[in-house]
A and B are shown apart, each in its own frame.
Chain A
């Protein structure tokens, strides 16, 4: 694998020993698509970014296509793990690995490079061929071919970026995943989903009453959310194809849905005539079971990666802290001890750490606790940050932030080094939820 070669060459593990050097600051905006909704601005980055060249793909097919290499470049750049080299001045632009003059690319300091071609197939189909080369060893690392409909070009670009990311870092890529969030504009609330790069936003449901707490089903086919359309919080489940069912409409509040990892049930919060308590309910609305039994607030349930525990926030000890309880019920145990306000627990996909919102001297920020050592790192810099959500590979956390009365989304790498801001023009955005990988 290339990463090993680079690491041995530089004698410096890129992923493990990142030096906090002067921050490379870069920002760019997506101008390629008229439907673009989220603008993404990045700052920071790994001090040791892998230099990679994405050669513009040869386009044998009709014009008016998405610029596939620009989408791949933007994905890789946004991850903070790569330095995407400028290829504008290069005269020879290979579209196949056999055409690469490696000395030219080595001179640009490229360690890896991608080449490709988009060709027209009969029946309005496209063939996208791509190869990734190791410039130092002058060998092919991987190659893929996709037979797609023209409207899948953007999604294919994300898949190629995922392949490159996986090959060069050894970790799963997330560029082909999607995010959900709530947009509030002109007094209306909309639950939207968009590609991980903010493109292709689609409204799933809109209402003049608030919508909060979107939660993806583990297979990414459905989203549970809380709607106030009936003047009280009620939980709905809606498939991406548009089918909507009411999951929980009990007396009092119905909120904070969280899918079990096996999708069989959800943890929810109900109140009846008292304080919030955690329940589980089957995905079809049957089998309601009370999990926590206290007179305090117990809310914001989230499942451990193995499904055995439900973590939740509670003020049973006075101030809000995070506790865990067996998902079949039992005696809760306290998890957080540091700080006077820790809420919104979220498990990392590898199950090793817990993200949360901590009130850090009056500022609500995203914090990450290593479960083995108990050590906590504050990751965000806002004063009203909330709703942390892990990318499916655990490398990045998406969250909501507010500044100057305006809500936007932000993302931070789990090591705290790469930061991004996502803005939607003309709207207040909040309540992000990163969806699972699309298979």
Chain B
């Protein structure tokens, strides 16, 4: 893999993305985090974000990759397994199926190699059940994917688990084939 070419571009993008996502989720009270050694680079970008809770100025920043770089970015290369971002689930289940293991291993490898890279795991459900409860079920799925990534060596601070519940479900699914596509976790990188 030719890392040197895209790493510098990616890193500046990731630094912004990290700042952005750190701002987005700056809590008023944070749970005591597990003690994890941080690389200097992580601390350098994380600090200003911690100091500021104002997100209004930040949201205009675009960290979209230049389309011309897609060929150099494994995350954007359609032939690379890292371009696969959806993990599907059975009804009423948060078990990560074996068929998604190669894909999760690839993402884990990328995240371990790129310590400043961050992902948001977005859980989704079909529309059966109540909205708030489904929000929690979607979260359960994103937590299941997070645990799988943790076991593959990815650090907690690189992952945010969130849920859209049934809010992004295709409305009025007529059959199981449709409903199945709603029961998923999407992996979204900070600079996507």
Counting chain A CB atoms within 10 Å of each CB, the highest count among B26, B59, B135, B156 belongs to: B135
Q: Are A233 and B135 in contact (CB under 8 A)?
A: yes
Chain A residues, Cβ within 8 Å of B122: 231
Question: A387 near B130 (CB under 8 angstroms)?
Answer: yes
Measured CA separation A394–B31 after assembly (Å): 39
Q: Which single member of B29, B129, B139 contacts A276 (CB below 8 Å)?
A: B139
Judged by a CB distance under 8 angstroms, whether B3 is at the interface is no
* Residues of chain B with a CB closer than 8 A to A272's CB: 31
Indicate if the CB atoms of A273 and B131 lie closer than 8 Å.
no
Q: Which residues of B contact A (CB under 8 A)?
A: 24-31, 55, 59, 120, 122, 127-133, 135-137, 139-140, 143, 146, 156, 159-165, 167-168, 171-172
Task: Tell me, yes or no, whether A28 is within 8 Å of chain B by CB.
Answer: no
Q: Which of A2-10, A63-71, A146-154, A251-259 contacts B (4 or more CB under 8 A)?
A: A251-259
Q: Is the CB of B24 within 8 A of A232?
A: yes
Q: How many A-B contacts if CB must be within 8 Å?
A: 120
Q: How far, in angstroms, from A273 to B156 measured CA to CA in the complex?
A: 8
Compute how far the CA of A417 lies from the CA of B162 in the bound complex, rounded to whole angstroms.
Answer: 41
Nearest residue in B to A298 (C-beta to C-beta)?
B136
Instruction: Output the least CB separation between B157 and chain A (Å).
Output: 9
7 additional contacts (CB under 8 A) given A232-B160, A273-B161 = A230-B24, A230-B59, A250-B29, A297-B139, A344-B132, A384-B127, A405-B171
Chain B contacts for A386, CB-based, 8 A: 130-131
CB of B132 within 8 A of CB of A256, answer yes
Known pairs A210-B167, A251-B30, A253-B135; A273 contacts B143 (CB<8 A): yes
**Cβ-closest 3 pairs across A and B:** A405-B172, A210-B167, A276-B136
The CA-CA distance from A212 to B160 in the complex, in Å, is 21
A343 touches B164 (CB 8 A): no
Chain A residues near B130 (CB, 8 Å)? 300, 343-344, 357, 364, 386-387
Write out the residue numbers on chain A whose beta carbons fall within 8 Å of the beta carbon of B129.
341, 343, 359, 364
A140 within 8 A of B: no
Q: Binding site of A, secondary structure by majority: helix, strand, loop or mixed?
A: loop
Establish whether residues A250 and B132, one from each chain, have CB atoms under 8 Å apart when the complex forms. no
Q: How far is the CA of A384 from the CA of B172 in the complex (A)?
A: 11
| Chain B residues positioned under 8 Å from A52 (CB to CB) | none
Given contacts A232-B24, A299-B132, whether A288 and B29 have CB atoms under 8 Å apart is yes
- For B161, list chain A residues within 8 Å (CB): 252, 271, 273-274
A435 within 8 A of B: no
Neighbouring A residues of B28 by C-beta, 8 Å:
248-250, 285-286, 288
Contact B162 A252 (CB under 8 A): yes
Contact B26 A275 (CB under 8 A): no
**Other-chain contact of A313, B24, B133, B160 (Cβ < 8 Å):** B133
A interface vs B, CB < 8 Å?
210, 212-213, 228, 230-233, 248-253, 255-256, 269, 271-276, 285-286, 288, 297, 299-300, 313, 320, 341, 343-344, 357, 359, 364, 384, 386-387, 404-405, 430-431
Contacts of A430 in B (CB 8 A): 131
Cα distance A415–B55 in the bound complex, in angstroms: 48
Using known A-B contacts A233-B162, A288-B29, determine if residue A249 contacts B24 with beta carbons closer than 8 Å: yes
A251 partner residues in chain B, CB cutoff 8 A = 25, 27, 30, 160
Q: Which of B25, B27, B136, B143 has the most CB of A within 10 A?
A: B136
Report the bound CA distance from A431 to B135 in whole Å: 14
B13 to chain A: closest CB distance in Å?
17
Nearest-neighbour CB distance to chain A for B61, whole angstroms, equals 13
**Contact yes or no, B30 A250, CB < 8 A:** yes
A250 cross-chain contacts in B, Cβ below 8 A: 25, 27-30
Could you tell me the distance between the alpha carbons of A313 and B128 in the complex, rounded to whole angstroms?
16
Closest B residue to A301 using CB positions: B132
B132 and A300: CB pair below 8 A?
yes
Contact of A297 with B131 at beta-carbon distance under 8 Å, contacts A210-B164, A273-B159 already known: no
The answer to whether A320 touches B133 (Cβ under 8 A) is: yes
Whether B164 pairs with A228 at a CB distance below 8 angstroms is yes
CB distance from A428 to the nearest CB of B (A): 8
Once the chains bind, are A213 and B143 in contact (CB under 8 Å)? Answer: no
